[in-house]
Structure 1
Amino acid sequence: MAIRMMQALYSMRTAPYSLDPTSNDQVHDRYSQAIEVKTYWACFIIDCMVNAGTYNPPMLPMSEMKKLRVGRPVNALEYALGQDHPDASAASKVEVSQGLGIARGCEILVHGFNIWSQLMTFVFNDGRKAPGMCAPRNCPWVSSSPWANALSQLQAWRAMREANTHYPTASVVMYVTLGYGEAFVCISVLYHVSIIMLRREYLPFLPTPESFPSGPTDPPLLEAEAPENWWEENARQLFQSAEYIARLLEESSECGVHLMTPFAGFCAFSAGYICAYVPWFPSMNLGRSPDAGKCLSFCLKYLEEIKKVWSIAEGWINTIEHASLLSRRAATTGRYRGMSRADFNDLHQSLHEFRVVDRSEQHMKEMNGVEQAIDTSRDPMGDAATITDDSPDTNVLLESFLHEVNSNMHEQGPWS
């Protein structure tokens, strides 16, 4: 509704023949115009945040913003002194090169969320499972492939910022001290969650504990071989981004910058899932994730805080718990060998869903169904065992897992 109101308001301002003749008599000073422009771009960002995590098309794509000819947001000095002030443009250049003020931060986020929206469209259109995406010309390491194009846009977006705005080169504490903490954290988690969504698409859903990075293991399989060390680097960046998100949110909370927004929660959820996955399959990152348990613990703690404000977080917490339970069973019992994400479609769907949907019941039905099928195949004449209410609670299992990880950190318990 807010976005539709914004579109109507701006159209009324720019239409050659306004539907409201009295609107032309209103005087709009530079302050109100500056506020409106920032509001328009805020609506664009919100639209990207919300609709990029659903199957709904965006209500306000970048093409619409260009059609409306919405100007760039002004910085603090331009707002105070006017854009025609002789020193305003110089001050703007200083802010671009040295800080993340309101205008600069907004510009960066607009570009970033535009890329995020396109990236999530790729994911929701079946990603690598889409027709033709496994053909040699569309493999992710091919520079002209859709995946590589998305990654190139993401890297170009990051390159438009100075190196001292990249985490972990720059610290959260430093930007909080400068007054740009929230902008810095938002931009940083946006970049790293984008990396996760891109690179996770080629992560095996249920590998074995001995599996190494080698690409998808469930159909459709890629029709060409990756260059040497490509999968190892893909894994490194994927798991590293998950840990970076956890640390960013932890450090920002310690500095008093609490991002209690659904998007921040989604970032914590996405990072938490990856951090719950790798301890059970340590070779998938070549043993390079010794702190995954700590990062998972903080992501869950962060989501518990967000749950007090946004009920959507409860579904994310449940999904992490069920995914952790599934990974634990696959790694310790080998019961799911030969299974793929197609056998746990509801759980996989929940991993990239940005809306209030708690699929806990479907998750357990899927695991019950698979367990029953496995037991039936082993003993066709016997009664199939299922996961019942007497089975260990997922919360207990997760707490046990975190305790095991933390208590064996020096011995590399689960990773040895």
Structure 2
Amino acid sequence: MVRTTIACSHCRKLKIKCVHEGSPPCQNCKKKDRTRSGECLLTGPELKRKRVPDTPSGDIDQTRRNIRSTLADTPSTQSSELQVSVNGNPNGGFAVDSSTIIAALKTFSSKFPEFRFVHLPTLSKFIHSIEENGRIKFLQRTCSESSSIHMLCASIVALCLPITHELSHASPPEAFASFARGCVSIASPPDLSTVQALLALSMYEWGTGNGYRAWMYSGTATRMMQSLRVMVQVTSLAAVDKEIHNRTLWACFIMDRLVHCGKTQPFALSAYSMDTHWPTSEDDFAFGESSGHAALTNEERGPLENMEGDMNHYYGILVRGFDIWARILSWVVSGGRRLPGMSLPENHPWVAGSRWKLLYDELMAWRDRQEKRLRYPEASVEGNSALGTAERFAYLNLIYYVSLLFLGREYLRFIPTPDSEPNGPVDPPLLPLPAPPGWWQDRADEIFTSAAHIASLLRKLEEANEPLYTPFPGFCAFSAATMNLYVSSFPKMNLDRHHILMYGVNKNIEFLHKFKDMWAMGKGWWVTIGHCKQLYNSARQDHSQFRGRTREDYSALEYSIHDIRGQPPTIGDCMSPEISVEDIEITSTTNNETAAALSLQELSGFDNTQQTSVTLDDAAANRDWNQTWPLWGEQDFIPFAIEGVPFDYNMSLGDL
């Protein structure tokens, strides 16, 4: 057996070794059952392409453009960054009606409750002061001369364009984002608008799949804000300006937890190091009044006893909730129950003082201190929609339910048998002591009830004409979908307690289908959902092929299920081109409780009547699930992934 430069087109396209004996089919095509005449064609090496000229290390965008133009097999679509419309402006910029900017600010305030630092009366007045004939000009050549307010407006519009039909007449989102990036300068003295713009840019980059950029912008905003805090403490500001500074600092705190992604590095900000007070009430902030809060004492930073749990103090509740959620995610992704010592009796999840129990109790305390009107489903989406608080209401409940889901799922059997019932982990490390009676059944109920409530909550927001297609709710929808599909295949894992109908499962999938068309991060989740459906269906239909496998056999798949960034998996040997993002489709099932579960064909685009070369069972039996997805977290720290080109998760294989 030899390895040569002679390769088949399939292996060449996927940039993998083509192993053969000098004649077709190669090993990869045999594995994929491409053995018929003409399906595996061995050809010689392609002509050497034009060498990419050396590019300064800082000019990453130019490198990508060079790669796309010189190494692509066929002409590929240019990135949105190169398709920016200048609207006929000879200066390479564009102008936007100030009314469009104001509309984007209102959307930003309602759809991104993580960022409650925009004081609309103050900012609107400032925007009108810099407009020219009712328009705001964004000129790249004069970016250095523009005020930081231009950068802030551009960042907010870029973030809101993908989710706002009313702004569809404006330039593409990337036009605004590109302008804002061009205004970033870490050498200039920091100012508040620049910090806020960096936070909005961080959220935008996160949504478009650029995890590293999001992390860097968030970190830059935090460092700038820490410098500004020193200046604020020695200057005299109006009450409203002080609170804008305070809320911007807490927005840095939240964004740090969102883009942290459960990695092992420490958070940039700790609640115990925040030299400020909790956010003031929404009423006081809107009217520019001071609540008279002093800086936090050590006793006030950690415990929840001082938390005011009504909607008027929403932002303070949200800050605490995101802190709890981030620590739960960090524990799970860093190893969770598989961390050293976690299987010891004193660390069993039902034992007081164990890591799991401490996180669970803190989450419950946070929830208990919220008034009844903030809790779904006790309080309705419709009631909050009538008060204009639907999105804020949704965020609080999404944090709670996705936290419960992650805590419970850590001890859930990854691939059960069709007859399995909840009884704790079945692969190492095992728990030597039995759980209290009914404990595992209660955890299963929490997991699947949480998944059902997430799907229901997002569906009701749409029905109330308050849809929430932003990154964090998208991740919650994805997490709920994995569990809803799981329990639809293994209903006994929840003791046949049907908390969500198949109609609800389909609505959950439909939400993600729309989400992926708005945000690139959703495409990776969409592919993962398709593979989860394949795995669950295959295990339900014939579990014998999975006998003897442990959770370790699915570590890469499990990692992708936990990944909050939504970065699309790399297509490799075990993920054939037939299962691409573009091929995954769903059906518009409108039946009620009699609707059957989504079939594999409905979710992943497979049609066994047309593609008979690989059956579902054979594909699942031959697939090495531990190789389907790379460990994306490790890729964050690989500076040059392919031929010296910085890795960009938005670039398709065709572009590369």
Higher deviation after alignment, 292-301 or 223-232: 292-301
Pair 1:307–1:56, CA change in 2 (3 A): farther
CA contact (8 A) 2:506 2:589 kept: no
Question: What is the Cα deviation at residue 269 of structure 1?
Answer: 0.4
The 10-residue stretch of structure 1 (289-298 or 30-39) with the greater mean CA deviation from structure 2 = 289-298
- On the 8 A contact 2:260/2:267 being kept in 1, the answer is yes
Conserved? CA contact 2:356–2:407, under 8 Å:
yes
Q: 1:14 aligns with which of 230, 248, 256?
A: 230
Counterpart position of 2:83: none
Which residue number in structure 2 is paired with residue 100 of structure 1? 311
Whole-angstrom distance in 1 between the partners of 2:431 and 2:591? 38
TM superposition shift of 1:174: 0.7
Whole-Å separation in 1 of the counterparts to 2:563 and 2:334: 13
2:359 is aligned with 1:143? no
Contact 2:502 2:592 in 1 (8 A): no
Which residue number in structure 2 is paired with residue 82 of structure 1? 289
Q: Which residue does 1:349 correspond to in 2?
A: 559
- Structure 1 residue 321: Cα displacement: 1.1
1:199 and 2:408 equivalent? yes
CA 1:267/1:237 → structure 2, altered by over 3 Å: closer, same or farther?
same
The Cα shift of 1:354 comes to 1.4
Are positions 1:361 and 2:571 aligned together? Answer: yes
Q: Report how far residue 259 of structure 1 moved.
A: 1.7
State the secondary structure of the residue aligned to 1:205.
coil
The equivalent residue for 1:338 is 548
Q: Deviations over 1:40-65 (max 9, x none)?
A: 11221122122144444322222332
- Distance (Å, rounded) in 2 between the aligned partners of 1:60 and 1:155: 24
Displacement, 1:165?
1.9
Structure 1: which amino acid aligns with 2:412? L
Counterpart CA distance in 1 for 2:291 and 2:263 is 42
Q: 2:531 aligns with which of 322, 333, 343?
A: 322
Pairs aligned (count): 365
Distance of 1:311 and 1:189 partners within structure 2: 21
The amino acid that maps onto 2:227 is S
State the AA in 2 paired with 1:359. P
2:493 aligns with one of 260, 284, 298: 284
CA contact (8 A) 2:336 2:410 kept: yes
Contact 1:53 1:355 in 2 (8 A): no
- Aligned counterparts of 2:327 and 2:311: Cα–Cα separation in 1: 24
Q: CA deviation at 1:235?
A: 0.4
Tell me which residue corresponds to 1:372: none
2:388 is the alignment partner of 1:179: yes
How far apart, CA to CA, are the structure 1 residues paired with 2:583 and 2:541? 16
Listed one character per residue, the Cα deviations across residues 184-228 of structure 1 (whole Å, up to 9, x for unaligned) are: 000001100000000000100011000011011111111110111
Flag the 1:292–1:56 CA change in 2: closer, same or farther, 3 A: farther
- Looking at structure 2, the residues matched to 260 and 291 of structure 1 have their Cα atoms a distance apart, in angstroms, of 21
Q: Which of 424, 438, 444 in structure 2 is aligned with 1:215?
A: 424
Aligned residue in 2 for 1:90: none
- 1:407 counterpart (574, 592, 595): 595
Q: 2:317 corresponds to which letter in structure 1? A: I
Matched, 1:188 2:404: no
Query: C-alpha separation between the residues in 2 aligned to 1:55 and 1:355?
Result: 15
Shift of 1:77: 3.5
Give the one of 304, 307, 331 matched to 2:516: 307
Q: Distance in 1 between matches of 2:540 and 2:577?
A: 21
For residues 327 and 499 of structure 2, the distance between their equivalents in structure 1, rounded to whole angstroms, comes to: 33
| Counterpart position of 2:239 | 30
- Residue in structure 2 matched with residue 5 of structure 1 by the alignment: 221
Displacement of 1:329 in angstroms is 0.4
- CA distance in 2 between counterparts of 1:172 and 1:238 reads 21
Q: Distance in 2 between matches of 1:216 and 1:401?
A: 35
What's the offset of the Cα at 1:110? 0.6
Change (3 A) 1:402 1:316: farther
Other-structure match for 1:120: 329
Shift, 1:333, TM fit: 1.3
Give, as a single letter, the amino acid of the residue that structure 1 aligns with 2:290: Q
**Distance (Å, rounded) in 2 between the aligned partners of 1:388 and 1:187:** 39
**2:373–2:379 contact (8 Å) kept in structure 1:** yes
Q: Give the conservation status (yes or no) of the 8 Å contact 1:135–1:224.
A: no
Aligned match for 1:131, one of 340, 344, 366: 340
1:332-381, CA deviations, whole angstroms, 9 ceiling, x for partnerless residues? 0122122222112211110110124222635x728xxxxxxxxxxxxxxx
Correspondence for 2:73? none
Amino acid across the alignment from 1:243: A
Aligned pair in 2 of structure 1 residues 251, 74: CA closer, same or farther (>3 Å)? same
Q: Tell me if structure 2 keeps the 8 A contact 1:321–1:394.
A: no
Paired residue for 1:295?
A: 504
1:414 aligns with none
Q: TM-score, normalised by structure 2?
A: 0.52
Identify if the C-alpha distance between structure 1 residues 204 and 401 changes in structure 2 by more than 3 Å, giving closer, same or farther.
farther
| Corresponding residue of 1:378 | none
Indicate conservation of the 8 Å contact 1:293/1:402, yes or no: no
Paired position in structure 2 for 1:227 = 436
8 A Cα contact 2:503 2:595, kept in partner: no
Query: For residue 160 of structure 2, what is the aligned residue in structure 1?
Result: none
> Do 2:571 and 2:577's aligned partners in 1 also have CA atoms closer than 8 Å?
no
1:55-70 equivalent positions in 2, closer than 5 A: 55-65=264-274, 68-70=275-277
1:110 maps onto 2:326 in alignment: no
Cα 1:136–1:243 shift into 2, 3 Å? same
Percent same amino acid at aligned positions?
Answer: 33
Instruction: Check the 8 A contact 1:272/1:295 in 2, yes or no.
Output: no
The question of whether the paired residues in 2 share the 8 Å contact of 1:276 and 1:293 is answered with: no
Distance 2:278 2:596 in 1: 55
- More deviation, 344-353/400-409: 400-409
Distance 1:201 1:294 in 2: 27
Partners of 1:279 and 1:84 in 2: CA distance: 50
- CA–CA separation in structure 2 for the residues paired with 1:27 and 1:57: 33
Amino acid at match of 2:429: P
SS across alignment from 2:498: coil
- Deviation of 1:288 after TM superposition, in Å, equals 0.7
1:72, distance to aligned residue in structure 2 (A): 2.7
1:99-141 Cα deviation digits (max 9, x unpaired): 513xx11011111011111111210221011111111111111
Cα distance between partner residues in 2 of 1:64 and 1:309? 37
- Counterpart amino acid of residue 150 in structure 1: L
CA contact (8 A) 1:135 1:222 kept: yes
Structure 1 residues 405 and 325: CA distance shift in structure 2, 3 A: farther
Q: Residue 318 and residue 126 in structure 1: after superposition, are their counterparts in 2 closer, same or farther (change >3 A)?
A: same
Report the CA distance shift for 1:222/1:400 in structure 2 as closer, same or farther (over 3 A): farther
Q: Aligned AA for 2:384?
A: Y
C-alpha contact 1:265 1:306 (8 A) present in aligned 2: yes
Q: Distance in 2 between matches of 1:210 and 1:355?
A: 34
Question: Which structure carries more helix by proportion?
Answer: 1
